[in-house]
Every structure is written in structure tokens, then in C-alpha cells.
Amino acid sequence: MRQRAEWMKPADDAILEYVSDAGEVPPAVVARNTDMHRNYAGERCRELTSYGLLEKREGGYYRLSDLGAAYLNEELDATTLEGNDG
């Protein structure tokens, strides 16, 4: 079972799983394919990036990081991650 952190929202797993399958995608595409509002998807992508689970790419695209892959594979306890506001 994945070890989610207190800061994580229920939508985060769906976002990480979709990005893992899709490759590099913008939040609007994530939103359309996970049935959430595009602003919320963008907010969650930024939050997941601040904890290292996603990487922001050129043009506002996001991709799964190595930490994100480890989390999805149940090899990482997300409670051990520290956010980076910068």
C-alpha cells in the first residue's frame, strides 16, 4: 500500500498515475483525463513538484520524477518528503 503524506489530496494519486502513463503533459490535459478542474489540477501539479514527485518541463508541462515513480511503485514513503517552496 502506498504511504501517502498528510499534505497529499485524494486526487494526487490519480494525477501521478496519469502523468506516469502519458509522459509529459500540461495540467489542462491532466484535468481533462482525471475529471477535475484544470485550475485544481495545476495547483496539485505545482504541489507535487514542490515535493519532488513531478518535474516541471518547458511550456508548463509536467512529467513523473524518479521519486514519483518510486512512490507509485510503493518504494517510497511520501511522509519522508520535504517540500520546496522555491
What pLDDT was estimated at residue 80?
Answer: 92
Beta strand residue intervals within 1-86, DSSP E: 54-56, 62-64
Please state the pTM of the whole predicted model: 0.93
What pLDDT was estimated at residue 1?
Answer: 81
- Fold classification of 10-61 is Arc Repressor Mutant, subunit A (1.10.10)
- pLDDT exceeds cutoff 80 at 86: no
CA distances to 10, 35, 58, 83 from 47, rounded to whole Å, are 13, 18, 17, 8
- pLDDT exceeds cutoff 70 at 85: no
Angle between helices 27-34 and 38-50 (to 10 degrees): 120
CA distance 59 to 19: 16
Report, as an integer, the average pLDDT of 45-72.
97
Report, as an integer, the average pLDDT of 51-63.
96
Cell numbers for 9, please give them: 489530496
Give the mean pLDDT of the chain: 95
The 10s digit of each residue's pLDDT in 37-48 is 999 999 999 999
Report, as an integer, the average pLDDT of 27-54.
97
Report, as an integer, the average pLDDT of 12-20.
97
